[in-house]
Every structure is written in structure tokens, then in C-alpha cells.
Structure 1
Amino acid sequence: MLDLPRGDGRLHLRGIAAAASFLACLALAIPVSLPAQVRARALGLAPGVFAPGPRNAITDVAGVRVGHATVSNGDSIRTGVTAIVPHGGDLFRDRVPAALHVGNGFGKLLGVTQVRELGEIETPILLTCTLCIWPAGDALAQWMLAKPENAAVRSINPIVGETNDGALNATRSRAGIGHAVVEALSTADTGVVAEGSVGAGHGTVMFGWKGGIGTASRRLPATLGGYTVGILVQGNYGGVLQMAGVPIGQLLGRYAFQRDVAPDFGRPSGPGDAQAEHGDGSCMIVIATDAPMLARNLERLGARAIMGLARTGSSASNGSGDYVLAFSTAARVRRNPDAALAASEELGNDAMSALFQAVTEATEEALYNALLMATPVSSRAGTVRPLPVDSVRPLLRARGIGTSR
């Protein structure tokens, strides 16, 4: 079994059997000639007015770490785990304020009632496949309980989000997920974040094309506090794709409800088209910021991420579970569960507007990156190919977006 790429994309193989299985999976999942992967800015897609951080990633928020583990086995398992770790300390005793915003609630999100009740999280955040949240949650709880400092802890609230990668993945089979959780957590780091068909994005689909993991960030100028906002998305949804307002999906002839408005389109031809037919799917969005805020304003921040999702052409269909988890890493708002009295300094409401703008911009760009950085993935169900960059580039240029290359 191919057990699991690190965040830097290197593969860990265990034994001769694993190596042989890996080669078989590689032949199935990755064509010999891959299309060029580009991030959104290489096409001139730079939403908004604020500048990104140095990596243009969620790890631009100091201390935030990301790790991936991709599970690709046989001809049918195409899934994985992505871990977001808010800081490098003791998360159980140095908890970060957090909030949930639900755009559309068709989905499963483990641990959220406690997040809504207490306004904080005590574990890393995991993303995985729709039927994997329970084994992933158990593995995360075991990982936390195994820490020496947690020897006396009797309750852990793991946070696990999901999207349904069943178009490519045999989602009923959850083999290897527990090991993938440990791999994603142990390899998480603060560097460049791998994007596209990795980790929890390995089997996902966006707008009928290959989806995946995407990330972006925005850094406010000093006059607005100098705060950083970072976004990480697990894109697996549909609709009518648009990029910077250009109706890419319609121009390329692939969009939701196409059979209804263009009857000569015919039936869906593959797993990607079938999933996108009515815009169904899901999207997980994770927001990290170093701006000091508590749950109330973090929830307001999460609501603005849905605006970035809408800009890409999603209408949050009935079958789309669209969730946003937001947390603040600011030391002045962290919480110790043993403290009898908590004192925090948080931003005032009037200071939130620039952060709302930054989140909207970064979410839109992160979703573009998830599409543009994806690579083809094949399984027994068929092959889902990426958005054709060479076809998108002239459509954007015709609207004055990007360079002439």
C-alpha cells in the first residue's frame, strides 16, 4: 500500500510489498505526462486589494503547521488526511478561540457542538473523506491521549471535517486512515503547503474537474494592524465555475444543470461530470489568523469566507456541505481550561472590516489554487482530469487578466 506522502510530497514506503503496491497505484493514479500545475497568480488571478504573505499560504500565520497523508491503494482507494495544527505548544492546555460557520449543513463535522458551546478548540483540525471522520477522530484522540502531559486527561474533543470523495474513492473502505492521521500530524510543518491532489484532496472533484487542497493568505498593512489571515480549503463542490468574474465553466462547456439548459449535452461521461451535474459536493474552509478575536467575531469572519466561495461559482447546492472553521492564534486570547478567570483583549467590531475583506479575497484565491494545482487521478470509477490551464489562460487574457505568455 502507498502509505502516505509527507507535506513535502516525499513518499514513505514500508517493505517490498508496499513498494510493489505503490508502483501499481502510481500507474493507475498518475499519467506519465502531467499537465503543468500553476497557482492562481501565475494566470493573473490575484483577487482583491490586500497583499499575500510570503508563502501565500495558511502557514503565513506564525506557528500554524500543515501536514498531508495521501492514501492510494489498489484500483479504488483514493483518499487521505490533511492536518492543521494551530500552534506548536500544548493545544489541550493552551487552547485557541474558534468558531464554526455553516454555509450549508449537508455533511458531517466531528466535535463541533463543543466548539459552539465553548468557543475554543483543544486539538488539531483534520480533514478527510466523508466516512472516514470516525476512525480519523479516534486516531486523533489516541494521538492526543498518548502525549505524556495528557496522562490524566479523560476527555478529548477531536475536530474532523470531511468532503465526499466517493466519485473516485471507494469511500466505504476506510483502511489506512488511522495511520494516515498519525503521518499527517507527525509531518506537519510551518513551510510551503502542498496543494492539489494531496492528502484530503486526493479524491476530490470541483466543477467536474479534479479538485483538491488549496491555500492562500492576506497580510494587512500596518495602518490596519498588520494582521495575517490564512486559508486552507478542501475543494469538492460544483456549480458554474467563474474566475475573476469570467464564466469559465460555461465557456468550456462544463457546468451544473447543463443537461437541463442545453439538452444536446448528453449524459455525464465520467465520475467528475456525474458529481458536478447539479453542483453537489462539499467544501471545507479553515481560517487561521493572528488577529486577537474570540468566537463571536471568528464566526463573523467565517461567514465572509462563504462570500469567497460564492465568487468561484458555487451556489451551495442542497447536496453541498459547506463549513468554515476559524481560529485565532493570538497569545492574548488563548485559554487555559484550569483558569478560574479568563481575561482577553480582542479586536473591536469596527476593526473587523479589513479582516472580512482579507478573508473573502484569500478564500477565493485558495479555491482557485485547489483547482489549478490538481493533477489527474484515476481509479476503478474512471479518471478525473484537472481544469485545462492552456484553455483557461486565453479566456482570462481576453478579459484583460494575466500576461500574454
Structure 2
Amino acid sequence: MRARQLGITLGLGTPGEWNAITDVPGVRVGHSTLNTRIDGKHVRTGVSVIQPRAGEARQQPCFAGYHVLNGNGDATGLEWISEAGLLTTPLAITNTHSIGIVRDSLIALERERLADPAVYWCMPVVMETYDGLLNDIWGQHVGPEHVREAVESAETGPVQEGAVGGGTGMICHEFKGGIGTASRRLPAEQGGWTVGVLVQANHGKRQELRVDGYPVGRQLMEIPSPFAEQGTPGMGSIVVILATDAPLLPHQCQRLAQRASIGIARTGGGTEDSSGDLFLAFSTGNRDLPAADYGRKGLPFSSTLQMVNNDHISPLFSAAAEAVEEAIINAILAGEDMVTDDGVLVPGLSGETLLAVLRKTGWSMSR
């Protein structure tokens, strides 16, 4: 069950129809999940893909920006976003050791779609978190066929959460983690725009976990930690993708990405040296941005753009923080028990257990 199905409303804003990143028109999400055994080892990993618009990303670029809270992680394609402010490819999330194959596979898929690849190049954005406790990460089991499946299955509507796609083997606040999503839709008097979020949550210590501001993690310490024998609580990372249909310029997208830090902090994360915390935001609000012609004739000298005036951008920041907070809790609630190759339990956190400890801390559904 998701947070709102349990009566847990995080923040003051209103979610979109699906309470997902796909509430931003045109955004689609696809997954490819590996959950099997190979040569006696558990393979629990995959890849998740976000398509920023209804068509090909290279034909319909988006303004984008990113923020690194802690750089103990890796990503491809960010330098070009920093330089040009444009997202021209799908976004993919996978495990730490599969960034390269996912990037190369996205390039190969781009080439398939090009009539004349000689005049085009791409630098796909691929981000990662570490799933080595639950997955044979050194086996590098993600392949081109899984990237193709994620790309071709991308769709709008409700988004699968938990142990799916790149989130299959992830751990969050010492519970089973993975993919989570949420959204906020601003009222008409604040622009009527939507902010959608997707996280791959693989971070955090149990004792720091907070839900709706309440320190529930301290009430859950009797549940055995998967890090009791190996690793360190809090090791891992979180990747956050934020999408909006508000007309933001690249530097404003970067500012929106920074607000993911607030949502992570509200749930008790963001303070670990061993956690790579990387956030990317893109805006679909400026339509018909010209696709790069790479030497061809006909690209206009200038384009007419819109932007949200900074005096009216604060509600978007609030929406981003709330959606990230809720997406993380949704990721944890979607998790189910998993056992490592060494027989160590990574527990899921059930909705019933969470509600029980929330009430212990003084939380009330009717507050």
C-alpha cells in the first residue's frame, strides 16, 4: 500500500491523478526487472527508463538542470546538461556496475531510429545506486535486451514501485527499498502546473527514518538490520528525477533539483558519506525547442521562450520537496522481504507496522 492509501498525507499539496511522475503530461516510465538465480547467485537488478516527452527526446529537447548533494555516485551525460541546459535523451537508472552497458545500449537504440546517424551524436543520461547486498552486482547481468525492454515498455499512467527495474535490489533505511514516485499539482492561482518525482531509494539509517515528521525509525530498531554482519547502515545512494510542465529555464531546473535535498532530509536521509545523492530536474513547459541539426541548414537563430517568474517559483519548490518525501516513503512501503545469498533478511516495512509505530510517536490520522 502507498502512503495515502494508509491515510498518511505528507505535506499540504494535492497529488495528480496517479500521484506519480507520469502526471506530468507526456512523461512515460518503463522497467525491465531481473529477479532470478544464475550460477547459484541471486540476480536482483534491472533498469528503469523515463521518457521526458511523448515523442523522441532528441526531436523534442527539454530544459534540464541537476544537483549533487553528495558525489559518492556516478552518472553519465550530466556535463552536457551543465553546459547546454538541454536534455536530449531518455533517462535511465540502474545499478552501479551497469551504467556503461545501459549507456551504450541507449546509444545503439538511438542509432536504430536515425535515418542518417552520421550527423548526430548523443550522450545519454544514466544514473545508478548500489545493489550489491541483494544482487550479484559483479556479474553485470543487465544487457541490451533489458534496456530495450524498458524503453519499449515505457508508458503513462500508474507507475510500478518497489522491487522493480533498477530498484529491484535496493535497500532504504535498512528496509527493502527501490522505486518510488509521487506528484503535486498546483492550484490554478499558483500556475496550475504539476511536479512529478521518481526516486531510486537505496540510502538511509533505520534510526533516522521519519514519516510526516515523526521519528518512527527509533521505534523499529528491534527489527534486525541487514547490515548487522556486513556493510554499514546508510551505505548506498538515492537518485531523484523531477519533472514539471512549468516553463522553467535550465538554471531554474537546477534550483528545482536542489529542493530534492529537502524531501530527503524530511525522511531522515542525506547525511551519509557513503551515499551518492544525485538529482536531475527537467521541464516540458517550453515546447518546440529546436532539435540540434549538427551541421544541417535551417536551424533558427533564436527561439521564443517562457519562464516562471522567480516571485512565483516557491510553490514549485514546495511541491518538489513534498513529492520527494512521499516518493521515498512509497518506495519503502512497496518493499517486500528479501534474503541475501548469505541468508540475511532485508525486511519489508508493512503498512500495518508503520501505522502502529506512527501512533506510538503521537501521530494522528485526523490531525
Contact between 1:205 and 1:235, CA under 8 Å: does it hold in 2? yes
- Quote how far apart the aligned CAs of 1:272 are: 7.7
Distance (whole Å) between structure 1 residues aligned to residue 313 and residue 167 of structure 2: 31
Q: Which runs of 4+ in 1 moved over 6 A?
A: none
Structure 1 residues 269 and 346, CA gap change in structure 2 (3 angstroms): closer
Alignment of 1:181-220 (within 5 A): 181-220=147-186
2:32 to 69, 75, 84: 69
Residue of structure 2 equivalent to 1:315:
270
Letter in 1 for 2:238: C
Structure 1 residues 333 and 181, CA gap change in structure 2 (3 angstroms): same
Residue of structure 1 equivalent to 2:365:
402
Distance (whole Å) between structure 1 residues aligned to residue 178 and residue 333 of structure 2: 9
Q: Is 1:162–2:128 an aligned residue pair?
A: yes
Distance (whole Å) between structure 2 residues aligned to residue 395 and residue 170 of structure 1: 34
Distance (whole Å) between structure 2 residues aligned to residue 269 and residue 67 of structure 1: 31
- Quote how far apart the aligned CAs of 1:400 are: 3.3
Letter in 2 for 1:385: P
1:51 to 14, 20, 27: 14
Letter in 2 for 1:316: T
The answer to which structure has the higher strand fraction is 2
Q: Is 1:224–2:190 an aligned residue pair?
A: yes
Q: Is 1:40–2:8 an aligned residue pair?
A: no
Q: Is 1:134–2:100 an aligned residue pair?
A: yes
Residue range with higher mean Cα deviation, 151-160 or 44-53: 151-160
Residue of structure 2 equivalent to 1:292:
247
Residue range with higher mean Cα deviation, 80-89 or 375-384: 375-384
Residue range with higher mean Cα deviation, 337-346 or 232-241: 337-346
CA RMSD between the two structures: 2.0
Residue of structure 2 equivalent to 1:95:
61
Q: Is 1:248–2:248 an aligned residue pair?
A: no
Q: Secondary structure at the match of 2:277?
A: strand
Structure 1 residues 80 and 248, CA gap change in structure 2 (3 angstroms): same
Q: Secondary structure at the match of 1:354?
A: helix
Q: Secondary structure at the match of 1:280?
A: strand
Structure 1 residues 80 and 254, CA gap change in structure 2 (3 angstroms): farther
Q: Is 1:384–2:346 an aligned residue pair?
A: yes
Residue of structure 1 equivalent to 2:89:
123
Q: Secondary structure at the match of 1:291?
A: coil
TM-score of the two chains, using structure 2 as the length reference:
0.92
1:173 to 113, 129, 139: 139
- Quote how far apart the aligned CAs of 1:48 are: 1.3
2:318 to 341, 350, 357: 357
Q: Is 1:270–2:221 an aligned residue pair?
A: no
Distance (whole Å) between structure 2 residues aligned to residue 215 and residue 325 of structure 1: 14
Residue of structure 2 equivalent to 1:24:
none
Residue of structure 2 equivalent to 1:337:
292
Contact between 1:78 and 1:379, CA under 8 Å: does it hold in 2? no
Q: Is 1:372–2:333 an aligned residue pair?
A: yes
- Quote how far apart the aligned CAs of 1:387 are: 1.5
Distance (whole Å) between structure 1 residues aligned to residue 110 and residue 228 of structure 2: 37
Distance (whole Å) between structure 2 residues aligned to residue 137 and residue 86 of structure 1: 17
Distance (whole Å) between structure 2 residues aligned to residue 185 and residue 144 of structure 1: 11
- Quote how far apart the aligned CAs of 1:271 are: 4.8
Distance (whole Å) between structure 2 residues aligned to residue 333 and residue 297 of structure 1: 19
Distance (whole Å) between structure 1 residues aligned to residue 119 and residue 57 of structure 2: 13
- Quote how far apart the aligned CAs of 1:42 are: 2.2
